[in-house]
């Protein structure tokens, strides 16, 4: 089988589901959620909006651990169908982040993004739409908090990005230093930045280990070249992180005005 499948394809997602634990498609899985939410008091009445929620594992984790009621949305209808089926106690919507304000009918107290922002084609537009979602919905509340966990370009990553079937593997990891200005332009005031680069290296080393241990099963569905492709991509993330070009961060911000 040819190796030129994208990790975003059905086959790519199937392979990732084999090696990852739970319905998470972000680095660090539950550890990353705990880190991102560490300063958010648990309150079952709070509304959390999980933007780019994928298959809903993060939304369910937040709900189950008492952080609040959770609405997740994602542009991929198949992911939302899977999330609705598996996690009926959360609410899930098919929605482009650019339309986030039109999809929500209640202002969220917290908006979180777990490895979703880097995928958005129009990141500035996404931040503006999320600010509108916090502002325009019924019973708008001041001080909606944005929690953005993502891959970050620490400098130089985008000059020679990893390629997946001819396309950038990470579509557009943000430049960390540019985030406060980017957020401010969209109506958010940066409250804090936590860099997690060493953990990022550890998380992807662990994932590479899982890929290696799943070698036989990956070869069964994608062939030896497919296995080599997957391994090279994730090892490439580790190498870029070790070289100081790539990493992860949690950026928190509050809505202004
Ligand atoms: C790497 S996955 C992360 C999924 C989830 N947050 C998690 O941690 O498991 C990125 C998600 O962003 C979604 N996405 C990409 N572009 C989007 C957009 N314009 N609007 C909404 N979701 C989008 C993708 O469909 C995908 O589910």
| pLDDT for 8 | 81
The response to whether residue 116 sits with its C-beta less than 6 Å from ligand 1 reads: yes
pTM value is: 0.95
Provide the strand spans (E) within 38-166.
Answer: 47-51, 69-74, 91-94, 110-114, 145-153, 163-164
Tens of pLDDT, residue by residue over 103-121, are: 788 889 999 999 999 999 9
- SS3 category, 153: strand
The response to whether residue 100 sits with its C-beta less than 6 Å from ligand 1 reads: no
For residue 164, the CA-to-ligand 1 centroid distance in Å is: 17
Domains, the chain, ordered by start = 10-255 (3.40.50.150)
Mutate to test the pocket of ligand 1, among 56, 75, 103, 133 (most ligand atoms within 8 A of CB): 75
User: Within 10 Å of residue 182's Cβ, how many Cβ atoms?
Assistant: 17
Give me the residue label for tokens 């020679």.
160
**What's 118's DSSP letter?**
G
For residue 76, CA distances in Å to 3, 58, 113, 224, 238 come to 24, 16, 15, 29, 28
Q: What is the DSSP string of 199-245?
A: HHHHHHHHHHHHHHHTHHHHHHHHHHHHHHHHHHHHHHHHHHHHTTS
Provide the strand spans (E) within 14-161.
Answer: 47-51, 69-74, 91-94, 110-114, 145-153
The response to whether residue 29 sits with its C-beta less than 6 Å from ligand 1 reads: no
For residue 134, the CA-to-ligand 1 centroid distance in Å is: 19
The response to whether residue 53 sits with its C-beta less than 6 Å from ligand 1 reads: yes
| pLDDT for 139 | 53
Tens of pLDDT, residue by residue over 88-100, are: 999 999 999 999 9
Q: Nearest CA to 224 among 232, 216, 235?
A: 216
Residues of the chain with pLDDT under 70: 1-3, 136-142
Spatial separation of the C-alpha atoms in residues 232 and 239, rounded to whole Å: 10
């Amino acid at each position: 089988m040819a190796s030129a499948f994208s990790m975003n394809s059905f086959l790519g997602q199937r392979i990732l589901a084999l090696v990852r634990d739970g319905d998470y498609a972000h680095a660090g899985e539950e550890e990353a959620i705990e880190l991102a939410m560490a300063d958010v008091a648990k309150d079952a009445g709070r509304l959390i909006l999980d933007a780019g929620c994928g298959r809903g594992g993060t939304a369910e984790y937040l709900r189950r651990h008492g952080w609040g009621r959770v609405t997740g949305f994602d542009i991929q209808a198949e992911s939302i169908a899977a999330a609705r089926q598996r996690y009926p106690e959360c609410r899930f919507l098919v929605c482009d982040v650019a339309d986030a304000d039109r999809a929500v009918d209640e202002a969220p107290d917290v908006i979180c993004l777990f490895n979703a922002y880097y995928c958005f084609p129009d990141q500035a537009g996404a931040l503006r739409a999320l600010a509108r979602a916090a502002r325009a919905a019924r019973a708008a509340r001041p001080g909606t908090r944005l929690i953005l966990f993502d891959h970050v370009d620490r400098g130089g990553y985008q000059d020679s990005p990893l390629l997946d079937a001819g396309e950038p593997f990470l579509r557009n990891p943000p430049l960390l230093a540019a985030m406060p200005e980017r957020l401010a332009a969209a109506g958010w005031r940066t409250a804090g930045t936590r860099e997690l680069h060493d953990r990022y290296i550890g998380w992807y080393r662990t994932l590479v280990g899982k890929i290696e241990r799943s070698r036989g099963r990956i070869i069964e569905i994608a062939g030896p070249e497919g296995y080599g492709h997957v391994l090279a991509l994730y090892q490439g993330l580790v190498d870029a992180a070790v070289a100081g070009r790539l990493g992860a961060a949690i950026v928190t911000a509050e809505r202004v005005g």
